[in-house]
Structure 1
């Protein structure tokens, strides 16, 4: 993940189209590997996701939500083993589900919930 940030810095307004596309692919990989489908080390991103970003039109047609859920469920099933100490996957999704599903688990706040990653 650090290599992605170092190799593909933020683009300026005078960047070429190819540089913008490269930065966009690296940014999407950072989101996938760092937030949506992280591995156990939380420092690596699997190259299988890079292959999905070759054609942006085709990538928009994939069902990314189901891929995130499938990754999370696979990690949860693996966590049932006795010798398992860590779990990967989108744990923030797992943690947010009970807060919105069970009202008594919600923290009492006076302001509405915001999602800064989504509103960027």
Structure 2
């Protein structure tokens, strides 16, 4: 993931169309590998997703939500052995589902949320 960020810098105003396309492909690949379909190291992305980004028109027709759910399900099934301690996949999706279906799992907060400025 660091290699993607270092190699494909944000294009400037004078960049060519090919440079903008390559940057967009690298950015989407970073989103896939860094957030949606994580591996256990959280620093690698499988190259099979790069092949899906060659043609943007075709990539828009894929069911990316199903792919994320399938990856999460695969990781959840793989964590069943008692000697496995880590899970990959989009855990924020699992946490959102758990908080929606089981509201008693949500943390109780008696104060308003504040964010650093």
Same fold (TM over 0.5): yes
Number of the residue aligned with 2:8 = 8
Partner of 2:95: 95
User: Hey, what's the Cα distance between the residues in 2 that align with 1:78 and 1:102?
Assistant: 23
RMSD value over aligned CA atoms?
1.5
CA distance in 2, matches of 1:39, 1:106: 26
Deviates more, 1:83-92 or 1:23-32: 83-92
C-alpha displacement of 1:101? 2.5
Moved more, 21-30 or 83-92: 83-92
In structure 2, what is the Cα distance between the partners aligned to 1:82 and 1:98?
22
Distance in 2 (alpha carbons) for counterparts of 1:30 and 1:5: 8
What do the CA deviations read for 1:51-79 (whole angstroms, capped 9, x no partner)?
00011111000000000000000000000
**Which runs of at least 4 in structure 1 moved beyond 4 Å after TM superposition?**
107-111
In structure 2, the residue matched to 1:38 is 38
Uncovered stretches (5+) of structure 2, i.e. residues with no partner: none
